[in-house]
């Protein structure tokens, strides 16, 4: 038995009779999948016509005459010629791929981050439509990627999203794939200042934690309000817990920052460099994660960093005493034009586990250099042609490394960069690729289109 899906298409009339008495064909379809010519189109009311004929996609070759069914149809536009009591008519009939016909994807529900740098945006797929009698919908897989195609999450939703451009790849069980590019914005405009917090965690068993909020930029004087109602710049006597601070400057511009005070017994410090060499400490938004075995954490440290514009994605590894581990990726907003070594703070907690349900990790990256010098490195590269067919030319003022990734995040080529480079890419399929450069201690990425 055929699975029926109703559809109507634009009609081009070539007859000599009035349109008012014209009998419209009731087209039915079985859409092809995977580019196989196994589709069908037929006219449910074929007894209304004295003559029927199917033409191929260029309307020049007759496929069949005298029947209302078109079998073994590929994806494409065919033409149905029919004669009823009022005249002869021609209809363009669009046999679509199953995925296009079902229009399974209805967009995204995007919640912008509240303030620039909070990285608390959320993105979820909208409704998915499928015909219940046809191919199964489950399972559905999601690949959330940054604007350069690097996979940052495979969860059903994208959480902790910073402002920026992203790509999502959604695949359902029948093989239908949807790619969409979207932007996460900022609900409230970026303030003229950002907040730098100096935090002293509580000594074991005591409520003597301390935080000093330092606005950078804006117009003094500043007004402070902490979540415990303290209104001074310095807030002390804090027990371990989750807090936030709000700040207004003289122009009523607004800043907001969340932070975590923990018991010092639950802090981990990795001192890669003396403090005097650290340009700045970046505090990520505290993350509540109750899956972490807080009581059995052995160590934690940064495994890798990836800078995309002003956002830095830091991969943390938390290792337990039984040698198992948990990986957490945290976005940080770097509101800075300086170059140097940056320290990061990872704050994770679980309110259900009270004092034993929190940990704070301090670590530094020796390969993270921001903005001004990195831009200089990028500008010293000459890359052409883009789009490229077979040979890509890259001229650089310094030697370095190049990795080329496809949009699935797979490494397809690795090159040691000289000052002048001719890179053969004729084996790559057409599409978009990511050029990931490492020159000196600087990392950056560029897009490449392969024809």
- Mean pLDDT over the full length of the chain: 77
Task: Please tell me which of 90-94, 220-224, 259-263, 311-315 the model is most confident about, judged by mean pLDDT.
Answer: 220-224
From 362, 374, 336, 359, select the one nearest 272 (Cα to Cα): 362
> Rounded to an integer, what distance in angstroms lies between the CA atom of residue 215 and that of residue 205?
31
> Rounded to an integer, what distance in angstroms lies between the CA atom of residue 408 and that of residue 396?
27
From 314, 211, 311, select the one nearest 270 (Cα to Cα): 314
Paired residues of 358 in beta bridges: 349
Token pair, residue 410, equals: 């797979």
> Rounded to an integer, what distance in angstroms lies between the CA atom of residue 338 and that of residue 332?
16
Query: Hey, is 130 helix, strand or coil?
Result: coil
In tens, the pLDDT along 47-76 reads 999 999 999 877 778 999 988 999 888 888
> Rounded to an integer, what distance in angstroms lies between the CA atom of residue 193 and that of residue 223?
13
Structural domains in the chain, CATH included, are: 11-100 (2.60.40), 103-184 (2.60.40.10), 193-365 (2.60.40.10), 375-450 (2.60.40.3080)
Going by the DSSP 8-state scheme, the letter that residue 113 receives in this structure is B
Mean pLDDT on 32-40: 76
Question: Are 315 and 304 within 8 A, CB to CB?
Answer: yes
> Rounded to an integer, what distance in angstroms lies between the CA atom of residue 334 and that of residue 320?
30
Task: Please tell me which of 80-94, 113-127, 188-202, 364-378 the model is most confident about, judged by mean pLDDT.
Answer: 80-94
Q: What is the DSSP string of 13-77?
A: ---SS-GGG-----EEEE---TT-S-EEEEETTGGG-SEEEEE-TTS-SEEEES-SEEEEEPSEE
CA atoms within 13 A on the CB side of 422: 2
pLDDT at 443 > cutoff 80:
no
Least confident of 23-32, 86-95, 136-145, 184-193: 136-145
What pLDDT band is residue 367 in, cutting at 50, 70 and 90? very low
Token pair, residue 57, equals: 């996609």
pLDDT at position 51: 93
Paired residues of 417 in beta bridges: 400
Token pair, residue 317, equals: 């590894």
**Could you give the dihedral angle defined by the CA atoms of residues 379, 312, 202 and 240, in that order, rounded to the nearest 10 degrees?**
160
> Rounded to an integer, what distance in angstroms lies between the CA atom of residue 118 and that of residue 258?
8
pLDDT at 232 > cutoff 90:
yes
pLDDT at position 380: 67
In tens, the pLDDT along 128-183 reads 555 444 444 556 778 888 877 778 888 888 888 888 888 888 777 666 777 788 88
Give phi and psi for 395, each to the nearest 5. Answer: -110, 130
Token pair, residue 287, equals: 């993350």
pLDDT at 433 > cutoff 60:
yes
3-state helix, strand, coil in the chain (%, to 5): 10, 55, 40
pLDDT at position 247: 93
> Rounded to an integer, what distance in angstroms lies between the CA atom of residue 241 and that of residue 201?
10
Paired residues of 405 in beta bridges: 411, 434
């Amino acid at each position: 038995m055929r699975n029926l899906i109703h559809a109507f298409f634009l009609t081009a009339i070539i007859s000599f009779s009035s349109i008012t008495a014209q009998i419209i064909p009731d087209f039915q379809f079985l859409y092809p999948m995977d580019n196989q010519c196994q589709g069908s189109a037929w006219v449910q009311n074929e007894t209304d016509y004295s003559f029927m004929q199917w033409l191929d996609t260029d309307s020049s070759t007759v496929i069949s005459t005298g029947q209302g069914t078109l079998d073994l149809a590929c994806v494409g536009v065919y033409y149905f010629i029919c004669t009823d009591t009022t005249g002869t008519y021609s209809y363009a009939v669009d046999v679509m791929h199953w995925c296009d016909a079902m229009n399974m994807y209805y967009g995204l529900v995007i919640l912008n981050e509240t303030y620039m740098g909070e990285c608390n945006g959320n993105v979820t797929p909208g409704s998915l439509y499928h015909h219940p009698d046809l191919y199964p919908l489950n399972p559905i897989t999601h690949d959330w990627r940054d604007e350069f195609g690097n996979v940052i999450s495979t969860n059903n939703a994208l959480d902790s999203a910073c402002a920026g451009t992203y790509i999502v790849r959604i695949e359902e069980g029948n093989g239908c794939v949807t790619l969409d590019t979207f932007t996460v914005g900022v609900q409230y405009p970026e303030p003229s200042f950002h907040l730098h917090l100096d935090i002293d965690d509580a000594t074991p068993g005591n409520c003597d934690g301390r935080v000093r909020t330092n606005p950078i930029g804006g117009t003094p004087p500043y007004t402070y309000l902490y979540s415990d109602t303290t209104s001074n710049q310095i807030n002390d006597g804090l027990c371990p817990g989750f807090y936030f601070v709000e700040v207004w400057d003289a122009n009523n511009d607004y800043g907001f920052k969340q932070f975590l005070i923990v018991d010092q017994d639950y802090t981990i410090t990795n001192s890669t460099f003396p403090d005097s060499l650290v340009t700045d400490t970046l505090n990520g938004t505290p993350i509540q994660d109750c899956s972490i075995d807080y009581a059995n954490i052995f160590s934690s440290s940064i495994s890798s960093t990836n800078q995309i514009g002003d956002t830095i994605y830091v991969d943390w590894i938390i290792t337990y005493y039984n040698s198992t581990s948990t990986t957490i990726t945290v976005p940080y907003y770097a509101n800075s034009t300086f170059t140097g070594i940056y320290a990061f703070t990872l704050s994770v907690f679980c309110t259900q586990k009270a004092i034993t349900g929190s940990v704070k990790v301090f670590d530094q990256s020796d390969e993270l250099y921001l903005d001004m010098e990195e831009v200089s490195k990028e500008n010293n590269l000459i890359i052409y042609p883009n789009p490229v067919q077979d040979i890509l030319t890259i001229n650089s003022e310094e030697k370095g490394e190049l990795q080329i990734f496809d949009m699935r995040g797979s490494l397809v080529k690795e090159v040691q960069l000289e000052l002048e480079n001719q890179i053969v890419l004729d084996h790559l399929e057409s599409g978009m690729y990511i050029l990931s450069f490492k020159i000196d201690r600087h990392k950056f990425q560029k897009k490449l289109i392969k024809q």
